[in-house]
Structure 1
């Protein structure tokens, strides 16, 4: 059974360019390795110098979340985040 994985987090305005480059690279890598079609989104307005970003990974299988976390660790995105990454999983209604 596949599911959609949503990951959201805060980013300081000054770190957006560097983070966008790293997230783009890891999403390209995951697309090739896992056959996913990743998306990167953000809220239209920053608040208090922070942006909210969301990564969307539609129709992923079991084990993808672990592969994503490993890719994030290898890309060293942690220092560019303003807080934790939050994961949500949604499935289609029958």
Structure 2
């Protein structure tokens, strides 16, 4: 299962949020052996432009439900929650099975 976590970060919080995400990734690597990837939205939404924010996304590949359940606790532990606007949204996807022959 691959997991995507997205949220908004105000431009004035970007540096601190980036450091906090690095801490989240250190925690996921140490506790679960999972590497995270940070991305941000390439085309700013109208909301982001008006609010002075950017949409960021953490991506985790090949994780299990226990990892997904731990993510909110790791985000809080890293201090990330102090630097985001609104909530973190988590969505997980699995690969589709190959078509039957």
Shared fold by TM > 0.5?
yes
Residue in structure 2 matched with residue 78 of structure 1 by the alignment: 81
Residue in structure 2 matched with residue 7 of structure 1 by the alignment: 5
CA shift for structure 1 position 45:
4.9
Secondary structure of the 1:85 match is strand
Residue in structure 1 matched with residue 33 of structure 2 by the alignment: 35
Q: Give 1 or 2 for the bigger CA radius of gyration.
A: 2
Gaps of 5+ in 1: none
Could you list the structure 1 runs, at least 4 aligned residues long, displaced by more than 4 angstroms after superposition. none
TM-score relative to the length of structure 2: 0.84
Gaps of 5+ in 2: none
TM-score relative to the length of structure 1: 0.89
> What root-mean-square deviation, in Å, do the aligned CA atoms of Structure 1 and Structure 2 show?
1.3
CA distance in structure 2 between the partners assigned to 1:77 and 1:67 by the alignment: 14
Aligned residues: 92
Alignment partner of 1:93 is 2:96: yes
More helix by share: 2
CA distance in structure 2 between the partners assigned to 1:28 and 1:91 by the alignment: 24
Query: Does the CA-based 8 Å contact 1:45-1:51 persist in structure 2?
Result: no
